[in-house]
Amino acid sequence: MAKKKKNEQLPEGMSRRQAKLAARAAERAALASDPRPYKSLPAEAQLVALQEFVPSAVATATINGIEINIVTVLPGAVAALVREAELGGQRFVALQVRNHSNNPARDLAYVLNWALNAAPGSTLDSAVADGNQPEIASLLGDVTLEITEYQDFFWWLPEDTELTPEMAQSLRTANNSVMPSFPIPNDDAGSAWWIDAGEKAHIRWVRTDDEEPLLRALARVGAAGNLHLGEETKFAGVFRTHGLIVPVFDLDPTVPHQEFIPAMQTLNGYINEQLGNDEQLTPAERRQLENIKSRQVTIR
């Protein structure tokens, strides 16, 4: 039988058993997922896109007077790194990581806090929050991200880096995995990205509207024949991630991404018109809604 610990410090008014139950409850709360982790942030849609499907991009932000690069992925899928002072000392935090919990906002707050305080030359392997991180809103609550997309990972390396054969091979492998990807400007209506997957290109559009009103709006627009981005395009459905709905459109990959900007603006107008429509759905609109929901996929 295990011996009781002497001089054990217990919360005031709690027995040992009560303290143990409270500690377990706190552990469960720390592990519980947040249905919409980035909801409080103006950069919510951008963070979701960068974390879930954008291959190579860097978003710069200034936090507490310090510039941080919030990126899609770092070499080895580590959580963060700070370059050596002689190489510039830039601070990088990744959203697509090898080791993480199911609390992305807490993980990001933990990693950002680490990067703000880490010494040059440091690397953080795991993004799993340790419970001592600040709230994400205290770090990114009013931050606007300036995103630069890349079609390779050469930004991983400081300028004038001499590549060893091993580094060159690793970089080639990473670059070969990048699908051409470009953001579609859309007047702050979420975060939309054109991505060439080969036989088809797609536009994935992260929107921050509440789920049920957005699905109903999409159904109304679809029933009216307007749920598309022009000729030779197709509404492929939606997926859910981090509590947001992401409409997806199939496209001809030979059409440049810039040409979809007017169609995106037009479609955004149609959707916004219907978001406040509380009238009962027509039979055609109900069928559209049922069809959208039946093919809906949740990826996180």
Q: Which domains does the chain have, with CATH numbers?
A: 43-177 (no CATH), 182-298 (3.30.1460)
Question: Which amino acid is located at 245 in the chain?
Answer: I
Find all residues with CB under 8 Å of 161, minimum gap 6, and list them. Answer: none
Query: What is the mean pLDDT of each successive set of 10 residues along the chain, which is 300 residues long?
Result: 54 67 52 81 96 97 95 97 96 97 95 97 96 95 92 94 91 96 88 94 97 97 98 96 97 96 96 95 98 90
**pLDDT value of residue 9:** 65
Q: Are 249 and 234 within 8 A, CB to CB?
A: yes
DSSP 195: E
Residue 56, C-beta contacts closer than 8 angstroms, at least 6 positions apart: 72, 73, 149, 150, 151, 152, 153, 155, 178, 181
Residue 299 has a pLDDT of: 84
Contact 218, 227 (CB under 8 A): yes
Q: What is each CA distance from 218 to 41, 58, 154, 172, 180, in whole angstroms?
A: 24, 31, 39, 41, 27
At 33 the pLDDT is 67
3-state secondary structure of 4: coil
Taking CB atoms within 8 Å and a gap of at least 24, the contacts of 279-285 are: 281/216, 281/219, 281/220, 282/223, 284/223, 285/216, 285/219, 285/220, 285/222, 285/223
How much is the pLDDT for 11?
65
Asked if 37 and 105 touch (Cβ cutoff 8 Å), the reply is yes
Angle, CA 42 vertex, CA 135 and CA 105 arms, to 5°? 35
pTM score:
0.87
**pLDDT value, residue 26:** 47
> In 3D, which of 292, 283, 242 has the Cα closest to residue 40?
242
pLDDT of residue 172: 95
Question: Would you call 80 helix, strand, or coil by DSSP?
Answer: strand
